[in-house]
Amino acid sequence: MSSVKLTGSARLPTAWGDFTIYGFAEAPDKEHVALVMGQPDQAEAPLVRVHSECLTGDALFSQRCDCGPQLEAAMQRIGEAGTGVIIYLRQEGRGIGLLNKIRAYGLQDREGADTVEANEALGFAPDARDYGVAADMLRILGVLSFRLLTNNPEKVAGLEQAGLQVLARLPILAGRNPHNHAYLETKAAKFGHQLKAE
Ligand SMILES: Nc1nc2c(ncn2[C@@H]2O[C@H](COP(=O)(O)OP(=O)(O)OP(=O)(O)O)[C@@H](O)[C@H]2O)c(=O)[nH]1
Ligand SMILES: [Zn+2]
Protein backbone atom coordinates (compact mmCIF):
# COMPACT_ATOMS: atom_id res chain seq x y z
CA MET A 1 0.00 0.00 0.00
CA SER A 2 1.48 3.29 -1.09
CA SER A 3 1.76 6.05 1.50
CA VAL A 4 1.36 8.76 -1.16
CA LYS A 5 -1.34 9.65 -3.67
CA LEU A 6 -0.95 11.44 -6.98
CA THR A 7 -3.24 14.46 -6.88
CA GLY A 8 -2.66 16.33 -10.17
CA SER A 9 -0.21 17.44 -12.83
CA ALA A 10 0.56 20.48 -14.95
CA ARG A 11 3.18 21.96 -17.31
CA LEU A 12 6.17 23.56 -15.64
CA PRO A 13 8.41 25.45 -18.07
CA THR A 14 11.81 26.28 -16.51
CA ALA A 15 15.14 27.80 -17.53
CA TRP A 16 16.35 24.23 -18.22
CA GLY A 17 13.39 23.08 -20.31
CA ASP A 18 9.80 21.99 -19.96
CA PHE A 19 8.92 19.70 -17.09
CA THR A 20 5.60 18.30 -15.94
CA ILE A 21 4.99 18.89 -12.24
CA TYR A 22 3.11 16.18 -10.34
CA GLY A 23 1.55 16.82 -6.93
CA PHE A 24 1.57 14.09 -4.28
CA ALA A 25 -0.20 14.00 -0.92
CA GLU A 26 1.26 12.02 1.97
CA ALA A 27 -1.10 11.40 4.88
CA PRO A 28 -1.83 13.25 7.07
CA ASP A 29 -0.71 16.61 5.66
CA LYS A 30 2.58 16.51 3.74
CA GLU A 31 2.77 17.75 0.15
CA HIS A 32 5.55 16.65 -2.21
CA VAL A 33 6.17 17.23 -5.90
CA ALA A 34 7.96 15.53 -8.77
CA LEU A 35 9.28 17.29 -11.88
CA VAL A 36 9.37 14.99 -14.88
CA MET A 37 11.00 15.66 -18.24
CA GLY A 38 10.51 13.42 -21.27
CA GLN A 39 9.49 9.80 -20.70
CA PRO A 40 11.70 8.43 -17.94
CA ASP A 41 9.38 5.43 -17.52
CA GLN A 42 10.39 4.36 -21.06
CA ALA A 43 14.09 5.19 -20.73
CA GLU A 44 16.77 2.62 -19.96
CA ALA A 45 18.69 4.42 -17.19
CA PRO A 46 17.09 7.83 -16.64
CA LEU A 47 18.59 10.48 -14.37
CA VAL A 48 16.85 10.90 -11.01
CA ARG A 49 17.51 13.46 -8.28
CA VAL A 50 15.84 12.95 -4.89
CA HIS A 51 16.13 16.41 -3.35
CA SER A 52 15.32 17.21 0.28
CA GLU A 53 13.66 20.58 0.74
CA CYS A 54 15.89 23.39 1.94
CA LEU A 55 13.96 26.67 1.95
CA THR A 56 17.05 28.67 2.88
CA GLY A 57 19.23 27.14 0.16
CA ASP A 58 16.70 26.37 -2.58
CA ALA A 59 14.73 29.64 -2.41
CA LEU A 60 16.64 32.17 -0.29
CA PHE A 61 20.14 31.87 -1.80
CA SER A 62 21.78 30.78 1.48
CA GLN A 63 25.43 29.85 1.21
CA ARG A 64 25.41 27.82 4.44
CA CYS A 65 24.79 24.69 2.37
CA ASP A 66 25.03 23.44 -1.23
CA CYS A 67 21.33 22.61 -1.79
CA GLY A 68 20.38 25.40 -4.22
CA PRO A 69 23.32 24.86 -6.60
CA GLN A 70 22.77 21.08 -6.44
CA LEU A 71 19.11 21.51 -7.41
CA GLU A 72 20.08 23.78 -10.29
CA ALA A 73 22.79 21.38 -11.45
CA ALA A 74 20.33 18.48 -11.38
CA MET A 75 17.76 20.40 -13.41
CA GLN A 76 20.43 21.41 -15.90
CA ARG A 77 21.68 17.83 -16.31
CA ILE A 78 18.17 16.50 -16.80
CA GLY A 79 17.51 19.32 -19.29
CA GLU A 80 20.62 18.34 -21.25
CA ALA A 81 19.66 14.66 -21.17
CA GLY A 82 16.09 15.47 -22.21
CA THR A 83 14.67 12.94 -19.72
CA GLY A 84 14.67 12.57 -15.98
CA VAL A 85 12.94 13.14 -12.67
CA ILE A 86 13.41 15.48 -9.71
CA ILE A 87 11.64 14.19 -6.62
CA TYR A 88 11.27 17.23 -4.36
CA LEU A 89 10.69 15.95 -0.84
CA ARG A 90 9.34 18.21 1.88
CA GLN A 91 11.85 16.88 4.38
CA GLU A 92 13.20 20.27 5.39
CA GLY A 93 16.22 20.25 7.70
CA ARG A 94 16.89 16.54 7.14
CA GLY A 95 13.40 15.86 8.41
CA ILE A 96 13.29 18.10 11.53
CA GLY A 97 11.48 21.00 9.86
CA LEU A 98 12.38 24.58 9.01
CA LEU A 99 11.98 26.11 12.47
CA ASN A 100 14.06 23.41 14.14
CA LYS A 101 16.71 23.80 11.43
CA ILE A 102 16.92 27.50 12.26
CA ARG A 103 17.37 26.60 15.94
CA ALA A 104 20.09 24.13 14.91
CA TYR A 105 21.77 26.84 12.82
CA GLY A 106 21.67 29.11 15.89
CA LEU A 107 23.46 26.48 18.00
CA GLN A 108 26.06 26.11 15.27
CA ASP A 109 26.59 29.89 15.25
CA ARG A 110 26.69 30.42 19.01
CA GLU A 111 28.22 27.19 20.31
CA GLY A 112 30.34 25.97 17.44
CA ALA A 113 28.31 22.76 17.13
CA ASP A 114 28.41 20.93 13.82
CA THR A 115 25.18 19.86 12.10
CA VAL A 116 25.09 16.49 13.86
CA GLU A 117 25.83 17.87 17.35
CA ALA A 118 23.24 20.62 16.92
CA ASN A 119 20.52 18.12 15.94
CA GLU A 120 21.40 15.92 18.92
CA ALA A 121 21.41 18.89 21.33
CA LEU A 122 17.84 19.59 20.21
CA GLY A 123 16.84 15.97 20.82
CA PHE A 124 16.72 14.84 17.18
CA ALA A 125 18.48 12.08 15.28
CA PRO A 126 21.36 13.38 13.14
CA ASP A 127 19.33 12.58 10.02
CA ALA A 128 15.58 11.98 10.40
CA ARG A 129 14.84 11.29 6.71
CA ASP A 130 13.25 8.24 5.19
CA TYR A 131 13.22 7.52 1.47
CA GLY A 132 10.14 5.29 1.38
CA VAL A 133 7.93 8.13 0.18
CA ALA A 134 10.38 9.01 -2.60
CA ALA A 135 10.38 5.36 -3.64
CA ASP A 136 6.57 5.30 -3.69
CA MET A 137 6.49 8.45 -5.85
CA LEU A 138 8.98 6.94 -8.31
CA ARG A 139 6.95 3.74 -8.43
CA ILE A 140 3.78 5.70 -9.22
CA LEU A 141 5.70 7.46 -12.03
CA GLY A 142 6.81 4.05 -13.36
CA VAL A 143 10.52 4.74 -12.78
CA LEU A 144 11.91 1.65 -11.10
CA SER A 145 15.54 1.65 -12.18
CA PHE A 146 17.65 4.73 -12.73
CA ARG A 147 20.89 6.60 -12.21
CA LEU A 148 20.78 8.67 -9.01
CA LEU A 149 22.36 12.13 -8.73
CA THR A 150 23.67 12.21 -5.15
CA ASN A 151 26.78 12.19 -3.00
CA ASN A 152 24.93 10.48 -0.14
CA PRO A 153 25.33 6.68 0.10
CA GLU A 154 22.37 6.51 2.56
CA LYS A 155 20.05 7.75 -0.18
CA VAL A 156 21.18 4.97 -2.50
CA ALA A 157 20.72 2.40 0.28
CA GLY A 158 17.33 3.82 1.32
CA LEU A 159 15.90 3.64 -2.21
CA GLU A 160 17.28 0.15 -2.76
CA GLN A 161 15.84 -1.05 0.55
CA ALA A 162 12.52 0.31 -0.66
CA GLY A 163 12.73 -2.01 -3.67
CA LEU A 164 14.08 0.24 -6.43
CA GLN A 165 17.18 -0.36 -8.53
CA VAL A 166 19.91 2.29 -8.43
CA LEU A 167 21.98 1.45 -11.52
CA ALA A 168 24.64 4.05 -10.72
CA ARG A 169 25.36 6.86 -8.29
CA LEU A 170 26.37 10.03 -10.12
CA PRO A 171 28.15 12.66 -8.00
CA ILE A 172 26.59 16.11 -7.85
CA LEU A 173 29.25 18.56 -6.75
CA ALA A 174 28.13 22.17 -6.90
CA GLY A 175 28.09 25.32 -4.80
CA ARG A 176 31.17 24.91 -2.63
CA ASN A 177 31.95 28.26 -0.93
CA PRO A 178 33.76 29.54 2.19
CA HIS A 179 30.52 29.55 4.25
CA ASN A 180 29.68 25.89 3.67
CA HIS A 181 33.17 24.44 3.98
CA ALA A 182 32.68 23.03 7.52
CA TYR A 183 29.17 21.79 6.67
CA LEU A 184 30.50 19.83 3.70
CA GLU A 185 33.41 18.44 5.74
CA THR A 186 30.91 17.19 8.35
CA LYS A 187 28.83 15.50 5.62
CA ALA A 188 31.92 13.66 4.42
CA ALA A 189 33.23 12.77 7.91
CA LYS A 190 29.98 11.85 9.71
CA PHE A 191 27.62 10.72 6.93
CA GLY A 192 30.11 9.27 4.44
CA HIS A 193 29.17 11.63 1.62
CA GLN A 194 31.44 11.22 -1.38
CA LEU A 195 32.58 14.75 -2.05
CA LYS A 196 35.77 14.18 -4.00
CA ALA A 197 35.58 14.62 -7.78
CA GLU A 198 35.63 11.18 -9.42
N1 LIG B 1 19.05 19.66 10.63
C2 LIG B 1 19.81 20.29 9.75
N3 LIG B 1 19.49 20.15 8.44
C4 LIG B 1 20.26 20.78 7.56
C5 LIG B 1 21.37 21.57 7.93
N6 LIG B 1 21.93 22.06 6.82
C7 LIG B 1 21.20 21.58 5.79
N8 LIG B 1 20.19 20.82 6.22
C9 LIG B 1 19.19 20.09 5.44
O10 LIG B 1 19.82 18.99 4.83
C11 LIG B 1 19.05 18.57 3.72
C12 LIG B 1 20.00 18.27 2.58
O13 LIG B 1 20.78 17.20 2.99
P14 LIG B 1 22.32 17.07 2.70
O15 LIG B 1 22.91 16.22 3.76
O16 LIG B 1 22.91 18.44 2.48
O17 LIG B 1 22.43 16.38 1.32
P18 LIG B 1 21.74 15.05 0.86
O19 LIG B 1 20.42 15.43 0.27
O20 LIG B 1 21.71 14.04 1.94
O21 LIG B 1 22.76 14.51 -0.21
P22 LIG B 1 22.94 14.88 -1.73
O23 LIG B 1 21.97 14.01 -2.49
O24 LIG B 1 24.35 14.57 -2.06
O25 LIG B 1 22.59 16.34 -1.86
C26 LIG B 1 18.05 19.67 3.43
O27 LIG B 1 16.77 19.23 3.90
C28 LIG B 1 18.57 20.82 4.30
O29 LIG B 1 17.51 21.65 4.75
C30 LIG B 1 21.68 21.70 9.32
O31 LIG B 1 22.63 22.34 9.73
N32 LIG B 1 20.85 21.04 10.18
ZN1 LIG C 1 20.48 23.50 2.20
Mapped onto helix, strand or coil, the DSSP state of residue 10 is strand
Amino acid letter at 98?
L
Q: Is 70 in the pocket of ligand 1 (CB under 6 A)?
A: yes
pLDDT at residue 75 tops 70: yes
CATH 2.40.50.140 fits 4-91+129-191, yes or no: no
Q: What is the pLDDT confidence band of residue 187, given thresholds at 50, 70 and 90?
A: confident
Report domain extents, the chain: 4-91+129-191
Torsion sign across C-alpha atoms 66, 47, 116, 97: positive
Q: DSSP H helical segments within 6-131, as ranges?
A: 67-81, 98-111, 115-121
Q: Put the strands of the sheet holding 165-170 in their side by side order.
A: 4-14, 17-26, 30-37, 84-89, 47-52, 145-149, 165-170
Q: Which of 127, 139, 147, 169 is catalytic?
A: 127
Q: Is 180 in the pocket of ligand 1 (CB under 6 A)?
A: no
Q: How far is the CA of 53 from the centre of ligand 1 (A)?
A: 8
pLDDT higher at 91 or 2: 91
- pLDDT digits over 109-167, tens only? 999 999 999 999 999 999 989 999 999 999 999 999 999 999 999 999 999 999 999 99
What is the model's pLDDT at position 182?
86
